[in-house]
């Protein structure tokens, strides 16, 4: 286990690097972002660090060189006197938001840090470890030795892996810094939306990250156990055949999976869209082009970080860009041309990644199809009730003026599409306000996504029963941010005059008390799957639950070359199998088989690898031959292997390099 001192040092260096990237980028954002440039420099700095390090990895250069880019930016800004002490002092609130959010999630990870086989943690840890061992493009697939991750959108893991390398931390500690960082970047981005669009209560948009859905409240009130209530609140629509995750659950559940690592970038993009909607005509010259470049960076990052996001946000950008142009310059078609920079630059930003992914094999996506089992209304409201309540109250004047609108959801319900009717009903209420305000537009976008989900789905490898699972999961997660930001902005405008006379010091004090209460609630009532905490080392739980494996993993971490391949039992998805590659990041012949089948869509003979691994353990005449076939350096024999296989090894051809309590590690002599 990593020493406490080493863990603390990693956290400190991690925060210093994030702050360094933020403070050096901040002055350059002012022409486009103005008062929110300091805050949005946090996520923008990380996006720049990510793209810079990725191209260094593509060129085969050390990723640490990316710090030179930020150093040059900082020195140049300093020489141009872009830093003013009075200006920086007024920006401390942004640092408080970032650090408070980071500290909150860090404490939660401290109580529940384990890299455990529940959920996707083994996969995410394996990706992170592989990248940190060898940060080259394309990174090695730790669960398919000899092949790369060109079959997956790994950029979020790359982003965190590079930060871990720069902070000189171990991969098992860095694993538990991923979500605190994403949560903090998301919080500061949401706060930027509040500062931009609200005169008071500018913190309200941050609540999009921590509000629960109605299903969680229902299950808690009806007496479900904590874990059961949390889990049931994400399997609402379709009686468990879809996934309905929302940010609060995802952050507490603790899987640093692609959709969650990318969520801060969604909020960055939404914030940039809000800037374009409210300030476009006021931006001068370079400011407009800088805003378009930032939009391009954010949009271009999406396919590489969580590819489904771009399908939503590319369409959203085109709609809002046309709206902004129509409102400002509709009589001059040439004024539309600058907006076309975004799709072009976004495609160019990670063009090599897109090429690698598109040529990496056959996609599992088979196109759009019509939904045959629309969402039941009660289940639909179990996820989205809060937003509909806000929209109905907001659009009540529309209802009074056009009472026939209430017939819409009833009519659709009669024909079996009640949830579709509700979404259209919400759109009519918002559009009936005849407003171009961002909260209205974002609400309409969120509801339009729900309309899409009730009509279409993207067919993938999930089969007939779970055919809507990924579509509802990934697009629904996007819808949550639009609906949440819209609702919270509406609330912010309603509350604008409340507490106007309250001293700001009292507000800050109340905020601190609320933060502490939230921390206690999350720490005590959050999601703990029963594994020991009290550390940031994600591999520490093994010392209690699987001590011999823990010692063997420690040996490999100390002695194995980063490019070493380890033979371990072929793992079934969501089991303790593939734990060596998961915790170390070292490649294995075949990891979680269900995952590889889904990613590779028949590319690479997975069944052959499974058979070869069995032969390595059970057929001594083929052990060495097959290890050499995959260039495997180590053969791990532990409790999992002994349970799965009838072990028979050619000990005369193997050297035992580690042995402890039922775990043996061998090398070819």
DSSP string, 597-614: HHHHTT-S-HHHHHHHHH
Q: Which residues contact 667 (CB under 8 A, 6 or more apart)?
A: 633, 634, 635, 654, 655, 657
DSSP 474-512: HHHHHHHHHHHHHHHHHHHHHTTTTTTTS-HHHHHHHHH
For the record, the structure tokens of 627 come out as 């290890």
Instruction: Return the pLDDT at 509.
Output: 58
User: Which two tokens mark 73?
Assistant: 């930016």
- Contact (CB, 8 A) for 481 and 270: yes
- End-to-end CA gap in the chain: 30
Answer positive or negative: Cα dihedral of 463, 464, 465, 468: positive
CA distances from 171 to 166, 436, 564 (A): 12, 47, 16
Q: What is the pLDDT of residue 42?
A: 98
The residues, any chain, with a CB within 8 Å of residue 504's CB and separated by 6 or more, are: none
Which stretches of the chain drop beneath a pLDDT of 50? none
Given a contact cutoff of 8 angstroms between Cβ atoms, the answer to whether 214 and 380 are in contact is no
Tokens of 168: 């000189």
Q: Are 653 and 644 in contact (CB under 8 A)?
A: no
Helix (H), strand (E), coil (C) string for 45-89 = HHHHHHHHHHHHHHCCCCHHHHHHHHHHHHHHHHHCCCCCHHHHH
Which is nearest to 204 in space by CA: 195, 215, 216, 213? 195
For residues 54-72, one letter each, b for 16 or more C-beta atoms within 10 angstroms of the residue's C-beta and e for the rest, the string is: bbbbeeeeebeebbebbee
Q: Which residues pair with 369 in a beta bridge?
A: 457
Q: What is the pTM of this model?
A: 0.94
Q: Is 332 helix (H, G, I), strand (E, B) or coil?
A: coil
Q: In which element (H, E) is residue 456 found? A: strand 456-458
How far apart are alpha carbons 183 and 109 in whole angstroms?
A: 12
Which run of H or of E encompasses 274? helix 263-279
Nearest to 296 by CA among 338, 340, 346: 346
Are 306 and 258 in contact by the 8 Å Cβ rule? The answer is yes
Amino acid 87: pLDDT = 73
| Residue 663, pLDDT score | 96
Structure tokens at 438: 């961002």
Rounded CA separation 71/58 (Å): 21
Cα–Cα dist 94/87, whole Å: 12
Residue 665 burial (C-beta neighbours within 10 Å; 0-12, 13-18, 19+): buried
Query: 416 with 377: CB under 8 angstroms?
Result: no
CB 439 within 8 A of CB 493: yes
| Residues 109, 240 contacting (CB under 8 angstroms) | no
- DSSP-derived pairing of the beta strands 634-637 and 565-567: parallel
Helix axes 341-349, 308-329, angle to 10 degrees: 150
Report the alpha-carbon distance of residue 623 to residue 668 in Å, rounded.
Answer: 10
Please choose, from the candidates 464, 537, 595, the residue with its C-alpha nearest in 3D space to the C-alpha of residue 151.
595
DSSP string, 95-150: HHHHHHHHHHHHHHHHHS----SSTTHHHHHHHHHHHHH---SSPB-TTSTT-BST
Q: pLDDT tens digits, residue range 49-95?
A: 999 999 999 999 999 999 999 999 999 999 988 888 777 777 899 99
Q: Return d(Cα 660, Cα 563) in angstroms, integer.
A: 24
Encoded tokens for 551: 């010692």
């Amino acid at each position: 286990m990593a020493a406490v001192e080493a863990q603390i040092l990693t956290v400190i260096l991690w925060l210093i690097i994030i702050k360094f990237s933020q403070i050096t980028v901040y002055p350059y954002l002012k022409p486009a972002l103005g008062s929110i440039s300091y805050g949005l420099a946090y996520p923008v700095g990380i996006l720049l660090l990510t793209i810079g390090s990725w191209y260094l990895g593509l060129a085969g250069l050390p990723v640490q060189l990316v710090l030179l880019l930020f150093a040059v930016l900082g020195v140049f800004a300093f020489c141009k006197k872009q830093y003013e002490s009075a200006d920086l002092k007024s920006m401390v609130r942004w640092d408080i938001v970032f650090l408070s959010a980071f500290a909150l999630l860090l404490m939660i990870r401290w109580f529940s840090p384990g890299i455990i086989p529940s959920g996707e943690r083994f996969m995410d840890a394996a990706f992170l470890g592989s990248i940190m061992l060898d940060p080259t493009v394309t990174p090695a697939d730790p669960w398919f030795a000899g092949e790369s991750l060109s079959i997956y959108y790994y950029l979020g893991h790359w982003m965190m892996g590079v930060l871990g390398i720069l902070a000189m931390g171990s991969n098992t500690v860095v694993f538990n810094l991923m979500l605190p960082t994403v949560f903090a970047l998301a919080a500061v981005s949401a706060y930027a939306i509040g500062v931009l669009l609200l005169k008071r209560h500018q913190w309200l948009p941050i609540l999009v990250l921590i509000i629960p859905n109605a299903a969680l409240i229902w299950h808690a009130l009806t007496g479900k156990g904590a874990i059961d209530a949390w889990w049931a609140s994400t399997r609402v629509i379709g009686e468990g055949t879809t996934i309905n995750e929302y940010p609060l659950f995802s952050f507490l559940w603790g899987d640093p999976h692609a959709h969650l690592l990318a969520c801060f970038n969604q909020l960055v993009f939404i914030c940039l869209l809000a800037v374009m909607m409210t300030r476009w005509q006021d931006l001068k010259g370079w400011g407009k082009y800088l805003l378009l470049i930032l939009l391009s960076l954010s949009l271009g990052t999406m396919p590489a970080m969580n590819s489904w996001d771009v399908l939503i946000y590319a369409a959203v950008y085109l709609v809002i860009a046309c709206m902004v142009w129509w409102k400002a310059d509709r009589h001059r078609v040439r004024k539309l041309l600058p907006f076309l920079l975004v799709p072009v630059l976004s495609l160019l930003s990670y063009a090599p990644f897109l090429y690698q992914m598109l040529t990496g094999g056959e996609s599992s996506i088979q196109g759009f199809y019509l939904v045959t089992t629309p969402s039941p209304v009660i289940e639909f409201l179990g996820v989205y009730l809060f937003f509909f309540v806000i929209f109905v109250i907001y659009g009540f004047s529309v209802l009074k003026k056009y009472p026939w609108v209430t017939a819409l959801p009833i009519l659709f319900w009669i024909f079996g599409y009640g949830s579709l009717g509700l979404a259209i009903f919400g759109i009519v209420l918002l559009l009936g306000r005849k407003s171009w305000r961002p909260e209205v537009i974002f609400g309409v976008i969120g509801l339009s996504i729900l309309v899409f989900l009730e009509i279409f789905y993207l067919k993938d490898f999930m089969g007939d029963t779970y055919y809507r699972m990924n579509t509802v999961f990934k697009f629904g997660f996007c819808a949550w941010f639009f609906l949440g930001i819209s609702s919270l902005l509406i609330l912010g405008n309603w509350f604008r005059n409340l507490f106007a006379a309250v001293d700001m010091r009292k507000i800050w004090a109340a905020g601190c008390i609320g933060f502490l209460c939230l921390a206690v609630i999350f720490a005590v009532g959050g999601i703990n799957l029963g594994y020991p905490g009290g550390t940031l080392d994600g591999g520490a739980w093994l010392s209690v639950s699987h001590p011999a494996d823990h010692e063997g993993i420690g040996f490999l971490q100390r002695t194995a070359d980063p490019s070493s391949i380890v033979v371990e039992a072929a793992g079934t998805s969501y089991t303790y199998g593939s734990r060596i590659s998961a915790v170390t990041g070292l490649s294995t012949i075949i990891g979680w088989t269900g995952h590889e089948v889904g990613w590779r869509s028949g590319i690479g003979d997975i069944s052959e690898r499974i058979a070869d691994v069995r032969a390595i353990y059970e057929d001594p005449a083929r052990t060495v031959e097959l290890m050499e076939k995959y260039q495997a350096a180590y053969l791990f024999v532990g409790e999992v292997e002994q349970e799965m296989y009838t072990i028979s090894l050619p000990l005369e051809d193997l050297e035992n390099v580690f042995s402890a309590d039922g775990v043996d590690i061998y090398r070819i002599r």
